[in-house]
Structure 1
């Protein structure tokens, strides 16, 4: 019988109706674990996430999680055959500590595992001190901590006694799910190179990237190009205003679209352009590369984790002129676009596939599970 894994995402449930990078990564993690041969169930949709420091909300979230913890402990104690063999928490951090998994793992004597444990740099250390302490205690007690980017590894190494508990996990996508729908009708009257940007329109880093992109394109108005923007959100009016100074008829706002339609636009486009300010790494970069789309971005935050020098042209963060020069090269040179696009496909296939993630999960987790089954039989 396959080992049973209880999966938990304290930031956002994989079943949440609103799309986001966190939701997609959580879903991909569950699929990869299933591909590795495990029986994976979503333990709970109770979240601990709070966007900003608030002692009141912190206490409310913790109380709700503790009540859910007690419910799960009661249910699994009543029917031990349904209890998990391993607990897997995706993305615990200061804003979303895991108040459930460590207690369940301790009560049932099962391994506790995390993926993408990190810290926030927002507000002050004091504002998040209690939540950060809880995350660090959970991570320190984990059998393994899968780490997706170098900055997170540096953080974990700052407090873990044993860095061997850190397991590098390259961000990954399910390339089989990337088959695009028939390319949509291109809403432009000529065959100029088609640029594509994909990003939610919300305050913070996403809006900063939109603002940067509008500035970059304002210096390339003399070249032939068109742009499709996929995304929506509370900042849409602001985003449209940012691009209103560009020549008329050059930008089309497609709104929020389901993944097959986004893949359709990627299949129809010539260049994927997204500054990537503040991106953890950006799953859309992987999706674009998997479909042979060359990338233009800043070497910001986690972008270089998924975009290599061969699969995209990266400018130093904030260097507008360098970004413009890179984008101009891609606009002007079809052969360069083709070569970089091919390198992107190879990058994803070799380093960022769900199959590779499943193999890593199995290699890492299987050694913990025989001991778990022995403990379960003794209960």
Structure 2
């Protein structure tokens, strides 16, 4: 199938790394692995962060011009070179799709949204124009594919909603996990860590807002564990790094390590060498780092927010605590730090769950099935790897 792919918040080819860009690239990789021909239809970034009505109107005009140009270009091509479907990834009031709906109407092809949410409280406010565009796009969509179950509550009951569990490419981490003792020895030497202590791992960008608040909650939680032999490894960087470091200024230098930003190969070696993944996840969507940690055999301790319960099974692959509560977070940490057998069992279950439910291969198969059913306009009996939401069970 030929697929026109568009990410209005951030193009997959944008030079600045981010979780959003990473997910867009994973989606393309999963589709291509199933034999689909994917091309990026536009690089227009439609994001308006401040509610600037003038900017939104200007972006709308740009989008309309780009759509007209794309339509003309495609209509001049032979039918077998035209896209069969349009997919827009991450559609919300700050980053609407001004292009896809127009193209799909002109070319008479299905419009599919992955990760779409509607915030009705934005109606008649500073983002009203963008909000209305999202409402219209979702209404036109043949289906909406949700990575984060939390977003489905914001969708109209009339929308055909498909579930796609968040996913990663776990193989590099799995391979390193097979030789975790060698990884641990190498990491201990590289960062001067004590291999006999328990290593807590946190991976996150350092930016103001929810990320910084999560770091602060983690710091407060660790204050309640002065009697336990832990060492904290923090992976990440960003403009809020001075604030992050000031939050942990009370921690002895022998108990905390800042690695800075690491590439995927470095992370694949680091993750299996650690003991517990810890992240309070203040207002977190779902966080691919949770999946990467679990692929490495680490149990997770996280705040029970947003889509986190969709990737961390509470009591099975980790422990979820009350959002933003450092006391509860500290109690969860203590329970695993003092229970090595339970910790190992959770880590094993976590790795098995990621391999079975959150791999690129599994995601590609599910996407392939969804695309096939959407083009035919009905749900095939026995459609593999498909989850119905309760409100859409009659579709």
Report the TM-score, using the length of structure 1 for normalisation: 0.91
Query: Which residue of structure 1 aligns with residue 302 of structure 2?
Result: 297
2:77 & 2:193 partners in 1: Cα distance?
A: 64
Deviations 1:224-256 (A, max 9, x none): 111111001110111111111112321111111
Pairing 1:278-317 to 2, within 5 Å after superposition: 278-309=283-314, 310-317=316-323
2:63 & 2:44 partners in 1: Cα distance?
A: 6
Q: How far apart are 1:332 and its partner, in Å?
A: 2.1
Query: Which residue of structure 2 aligns with residue 67 of structure 1?
Result: 65
What SS does the aligned partner of 1:25 have?
helix
Q: How far apart are 1:265 and its partner, in Å?
A: 1.4
2:273 & 2:164 partners in 1: Cα distance?
A: 31
Query: Which residue of structure 2 aligns with residue 8 of structure 1?
Result: 6
The question of whether the paired residues in 2 share the 8 Å contact of 1:203 and 1:235 is answered with yes
Distance change in 2, residues 1:111/1:177 (3 Å): farther
What SS does the aligned partner of 1:240 have?
helix
The question of whether the paired residues in 1 share the 8 Å contact of 2:286 and 2:311 is answered with yes
Out of 223, 239, 244, which is 2:228 matched to? 223
2:257 & 2:201 partners in 1: Cα distance?
A: 10
2:301 & 2:109 partners in 1: Cα distance?
A: 45
Distance change in 2, residues 1:122/1:348 (3 Å): farther
Q: Does 1:355 align with 2:361?
A: yes
What SS does the aligned partner of 2:151 have?
helix
The question of whether the paired residues in 1 share the 8 Å contact of 2:187 and 2:193 is answered with no
Q: Does 1:211 align with 2:213?
A: no
Query: Which residue of structure 1 aligns with residue 329 of structure 2?
Result: 323
Q: Does 1:28 align with 2:32?
A: no
Aligned residues: 365
Query: Which residue of structure 2 aligns with residue 100 of structure 1?
Result: 99
Query: Which residue of structure 1 aligns with residue 391 of structure 2?
Result: none
1:61 & 1:304 partners in 2: Cα distance?
A: 36
Q: How far apart are 1:113 and its partner, in Å?
A: 0.4
Deviations 1:287-310 (A, max 9, x none): 111111111111122211110020
Deviations 1:39-95 (A, max 9, x none): 111111111012221122212322322222122112112224432110000011100
Out of 166, 173, 193, which is 2:168 matched to? 173
Q: Does 1:128 align with 2:127?
A: yes
The question of whether the paired residues in 1 share the 8 Å contact of 2:280 and 2:324 is answered with no
Q: How far apart are 1:17 and its partner, in Å?
A: 2.2
Pairing 1:84-163 to 2, within 5 Å after superposition: 84-119=83-118, 126-156=125-155, 159-160=156-157, 162-163=158-159
Out of 218, 221, 233, which is 2:238 matched to? 233
The question of whether the paired residues in 2 share the 8 Å contact of 1:179 and 1:260 is answered with no
1:166 & 1:240 partners in 2: Cα distance?
A: 42
Q: Does 1:265 align with 2:267?
A: no
1:125 & 1:178 partners in 2: Cα distance?
A: 47
1:277 & 1:261 partners in 2: Cα distance?
A: 26
Higher mean alpha-carbon deviation, 257-266 vs 84-93, is at 257-266
Q: How far apart are 1:189 and its partner, in Å?
A: 4.6
Query: Which residue of structure 2 aligns with residue 199 of structure 1?
Result: 204
Higher mean alpha-carbon deviation, 16-25 vs 113-122, is at 113-122
2:19 & 2:243 partners in 1: Cα distance?
A: 22
1:11 & 1:241 partners in 2: Cα distance?
A: 32
The question of whether the paired residues in 2 share the 8 Å contact of 1:221 and 1:247 is answered with no
Query: Which residue of structure 1 aligns with residue 187 of structure 2?
Result: 185
Q: How far apart are 1:352 and its partner, in Å?
A: 1.5
2:365 & 2:250 partners in 1: Cα distance?
A: 49
1:180 & 1:30 partners in 2: Cα distance?
A: 23
Deviations 1:321-370 (A, max 9, x none): 22111111222222122111011012212222222222221212114447
Q: How far apart are 1:122 and its partner, in Å?
A: 9.1
1:111 & 1:178 partners in 2: Cα distance?
A: 36
Q: Does 1:342 align with 2:345?
A: no
